[in-house]
Amino acid sequence: MLEAITVKKQFGAKCALDDVSLNVQPGDIYCLLGANGAGKTTLINLFLNFIQPTAGRLLINKRDVAAEPFETKRLLAYIPEQVNLYPQLSGVENLAFFATLAIGEELPRERLLELLQAAGLPLQAADDRVGTYSKGMRQKVGIAIALAKNAKALLLDEPTSGLDPSAANEFSELLVNASRNGVAILTTTHDLFHAKQTGTRIGIMRRGKLVQELNSADVSHADLQALYLEHMKA
């Protein structure tokens, strides 16, 4: 569903991605690990067509992101580290606004509340101004927008950073639910524990290269940590 084929991205003299290939299938939660500057965000931004590759191709559902920007955008939902919403509007008003933008039709309030609930937002918070929400709550509105869009692929950039452990855990469960519905998920994270716990596939990046890929079921927490540290040292 999400496919990077020998992707290279150069920022001037800086090579941010060097021949990266990966494939995220429907139902997969692919966790990208790697130190700051490894190229994780660059890869996410390429799938979003925010930036263009220097070489290589990015496909979503077999369609080229650069050649078919609108068609591929329609299949995607993106949750950045900071979900930007209108602080003066309530959760349900934000969802109404962004869902309309995404799907081109207005959803009835009952449907919006259903989506917020499916995204794990407590219903009594739906009419509170988003300015009063925690980061975890704003992300849930982000998830609800993705659900409204019925996205086939979900991109997340460090979604659990800054969440307390129970919010991070709850968030991970939402990802697992989405993946059970056949969504392909690509997420970056610094959290090895959640990568192992929630991910089906794990990729380790170092200085623009994908240096290892593994099935999370094949490693223990301790093995993953040892492997990760080994790669960072090398």
Ligand X SMILES: Nc1ncnc2c1ncn2[C@@H]1O[C@H](COP(=O)(O)OP(=O)(O)O)[C@@H](O)[C@H]1O
16 near ligand X, judged by CB under 6 A: yes
The beta-strand segments (E) located in 12-149 are: 14-24, 29-34, 55-60, 63-64, 76-79
Least separation in angstroms between CB 21 and Mg ion? 20
Q: Which does 152 bind (CB under 5 to 8 A by kind): Mg ion, ligand X, none?
A: none
Q: Transcribe 207-218 into DSSP letters.
A: TTEEEEEEEGGG
Contact 20, 49 (CB under 8 A): no
Which residues are within 8 A (CB) of 70 and not within 5 positions of it... i.e. 6 or more apart? none
41 near ligand X, judged by CB under 6 A: yes
- Near ligand X by CB under 6 A, which window of 29-37, 67-75, 115-123, 169-177? 29-37
Amino acid code (one letter) for 211:
V
Could you say which residues in the range 37-56 bind Mg ion, by CB under 5 A?
40-41
Give 11 or 86: the residue with its C-beta nearer to ligand X: 11
Least separation in angstroms between CB 211 and ligand X? 13
Among 29, 38, 92, 192, binds ligand X (CB under 6 A): 38
42 near ligand X, judged by CB under 6 A: yes
Q: How many residues form the binding site for Mg ion (CB under 5 A)?
A: 2
CA distance 94 to 92: 5
CA distance 53 to 59: 12
Q: How many residues form the binding site for ligand X (CB under 6 A)?
A: 11
80 near ligand X, judged by CB under 6 A: no
Burial status of residue 13 (CB atoms within 10 A of its CB: 0-12, 13-18, 19 or more): exposed
Q: How far is CA 104 from the centre of its chain?
A: 23
Contact 77, 154 (CB under 8 A): yes
Give 32 or 130: the residue with its C-beta nearer to ligand X: 32
Q: Which does 56 bind (CB under 5 to 8 A by kind): Mg ion, ligand X, none?
A: none
13 near ligand X, judged by CB under 6 A: no
Q: Which does 201 bind (CB under 5 to 8 A by kind): Mg ion, ligand X, none?
A: none
Binding site for ligand X (CB under 6 A): 11, 14, 16, 34, 36-42
Chain contacts with Mg ion (rule: CB under 5 A): 40-41
